[in-house]
Amino acid sequence: MSTTLTTTLTLVEPLPGLAPAVDYRLSEIDEAPGLFSLESASPAGIRLHVISAAAYLPGYAPRLPAEAVAGLGTHPDLLVVTTLVDGTPWVNLLAPIAVDPDTGAARQIILEGDYPVRVPLTDAAA
């Protein structure tokens, strides 16, 4: 992930099920480089955890449709939603969030192909 990634993200469209929230604060978790809290600015109370694909999933390089990343810069960073299930981190590889590291513009992209919605991080990173 780019070291210049902005701490404020503005989604081009709301995440599925989380409308009308489009403005988020991205905060790196202390002592966990590449793990972030993504919290809605308005309405308050929405929080997700995301990881930098570059930091945790170096082999993850999905083909991003040109129309999906239009307006997100020439090399958008990818964030992957993660959840903790019984102490194990799981990731959603089907729907990464592409981020313009310079402007903070972002969009969740539903990929074509055989990407799992939920897979243990250890399996995805292998």
CATH code, 8-125: 2.30.290.10
Bridge partners of 77?
99
Alpha carbon dihedral 34, 101, 97, 92, in 10-degree steps, equals -20
pLDDT on residue 6: 61
Residue ranges per structural domain of the chain: 8-125
Segment 50-104, tens digit of pLDDT: 999 999 999 999 999 999 999 898 889 999 999 999 999 999 999 999 999 999 9
The model's pTM is 0.91
User: Using an 8 Å Cβ cutoff, are 115 and 39 in contact?
Assistant: no
